[in-house]
Structure 1
Amino acid sequence: MANFILQFGKENETIYLAINIHPKQWEEPTIFDFFNKLTPFSNRIKIELTEHKDPMTSDICQRFESVYAELARFGYDFVIDDVGNGINDIDFVIAHIEQISSIKFTILPFKKLKEETLLLFIDAWFQLAKDFNKSFIVEGIECQPFSSLLLDKGINLQQGFLFGEGKRDLVLIDEKMIF
């Protein structure tokens, strides 16, 4: 996979990638080999730390510190994915706020809530991101009216399947396209 991404990166100089890493993958030494190979493109790759719980990993904070120390040397930025879910709770986010570049909030677990309740969660995470000068991304955007509502709030980094057309929408971060 690393070789494919290397070739893809060479052929597509304007494309930026976000790679999701499950906490269980942090345990694998090969993860460092993988990202070491991709170092030439580390400025175009964000590592997203997924929210999945792993009952076999007792101290996720300590493991993250170790992984972060190793991979940050290669020049990667880190994103905490799906904040407020799984291991990516407020405690984890606050503990690692200085080590990340972005916070990503997904609306998917909140689909059954009233829109005004969902917006309270979004507003709180957006404010936290602003307080610490971090990028804030909302994912799960499926319709133009909700996208426009977020744009009116100043949330211009959005990801999702707009209008149900089934095509992945790109996210603009610092004038760079990420998918």
Structure 2
Amino acid sequence: MTEDGVCIVDELQQFYLVCQPIIRIRSSQLIESVADYEVLIRSKRDNKFPFNAFRKLIECEAYNDVFIEWFEKEFNYLLQKFPNYKFDINIDPQQFKYPRTWIFIDSILPECRRIAVEITEAIPLNKEFAAQDKFFKKSPLSVLKKMGFKTVVDDIGTGQNSLQFVANNLQDIDRLKISLVAFRGLRDDVTYLFLKAWFHLANKYNFEFVVEGIDNEITATSLISSGLDMQQGFFWQKPHVLKETAKRLNNIY
């Protein structure tokens, strides 16, 4: 492994997992329940997603193998510690290119009924794999769906998760997620029209529809009044280390 590779793998030692609930609201009084928890990666250096380090880890097979080994261990701990929780895991399109990713997916197959796999919006790094038409025609969604996992298209309308991608994979999608972060700078009425259109599509094809980026009660209640009752964001709860894992993290790191 090169010196640069050693540095990147060392950076992995700074990673830890947090969870953020996806909330299902039952009424306009904000009576909510947790549908499932999205599993997110954070770095101890700044408690943010380590974007640059993560992208370097998945840009080649050897580094991705090391990352998957780490993630598998940490995620299995969550599965064992919280046997009644449902979890969402994010997989970058680039990672589906590597056999070790699929070995990991196969290893968690016994728990597939409580695991959703989110395909992120990132455009694959590998040039040979980057052509969107190729990814559209050979999406991993159909394989994941047949295996029994809930399939999720993350951050629709951004990156490679376009309307075309959704339209080409209608039969293999269980949930769509859209983030209000992508609409910053636009007027509220314009944002609402986009949400309404995607929500209409989701209803027609019986997809769950989650709005991310909810950071205040006004936004939450406004969307609930329009039927958008699956939400995620700081208003409901910030990403956090699940209580039972906090002591373990302190001991390890």
TM range (shorter): 0.7 to 0.9
Which residue in 1 is equivalent to 2:238?
167
Residue type of the alignment partner of 2:221: S
Do structure 1's residue 60 and structure 2's residue 122 form an aligned pair?
Answer: no
Residue 78 in 1 paired to residue 148 in 2? Answer: no
Matched, 1:15 2:96: no
Indicate the residue corresponding to 1:92 in structure 2. 165
1:60 shift after superposition: 1.1
Could you state the TM-score of these two structures normalised by the residue count of structure 1? 0.85
Q: Paired residue for 1:124? A: 197
Letter of the structure 2 residue corresponding to residue 161 of structure 1: F
After TM superposition, the score normalised by the length of structure 2 is 0.61
Q: Which residue of 2 aligns with 1:140?
A: 213
CA displacement, residues 122-163 of structure 1 (integer Å, 9 cap, x when unaligned): 000000000111100000110010000011011110011118
Deviation of 1:41 after TM superposition, in Å, equals 1.1
- 1:38-62 Cα shifts (integer Å, max 9, x gaps): 1121111111111111262221113
Compute the displacement of 1:30 (Å): 0.9
- Counterpart of 1:117 in 2: which secondary structure? helix
The one-letter code of the counterpart of 2:102 is: F
Mark the runs of 5 or more structure 2 residues left unpaired by the alignment: 1-70, 241-253
CA deviation profile, 1:73-115 (whole Å, cap 9, x unmatched): 4311111111111111111101111101011111111111111
On the 8 A contact 2:89/2:115 being kept in 1, the answer is yes
Contact kept, 8 Å, 1:83 with 1:90, in 2: the verdict is yes
User: C-alpha separation between the residues in 2 aligned to 1:126 and 1:80?
Assistant: 14
- Tell me the equivalent position of 1:35: 105
**Is the Cα contact below 8 Å between 1:19 and 1:48 reproduced in 2?**
yes
Paired letter, 2:164 = D
* Aligned residue identity for 2:209: F
Aligned residues of 1:50 and 1:81 also touching (Cα < 8 A): yes
Query: 1:69: Cα distance to partner?
Result: 4.1
For residues 97 and 206 of structure 2, what CA distance do their matches in structure 1 show? 30
Amino acid at match of 1:45: I
Of 157, 164, 169, the residue aligned with 2:230 is: 157
Aligned equivalents of 2:74, 2:124: Cα separation in 1 = 28
Whichever of the two has the greater Rg, that structure is 2
Q: Out of 8, 11, 25, which is 2:95 matched to?
A: 25
Closer, same or farther in 2 for the Cα pair 1:70/1:133, shift >3 Å? closer
Deviation (angstroms), 1:2: 1.9
CA distance in 1, matches of 2:167, 2:143: 20
Gaps of at least 5 residues in structure 1 are: 170-179
User: Please, what is the CA RMSD of the aligned residues?
Assistant: 1.7
Task: Mark the CA change 1:105 to 1:69 in structure 2 (over 3 Å): closer, same or farther.
Answer: closer
Aligned residues: 165
Asked whether the equivalents of residues 144 and 151 of structure 2 are also in contact (C-alpha less than 8 Å), the reply is no
Contact 2:141-2:169 within 8 A present in 1 as well: no
Alpha carbons of 1:14 and 1:21: their partners in 2 closer, same or farther (altered >3 Å)?
same
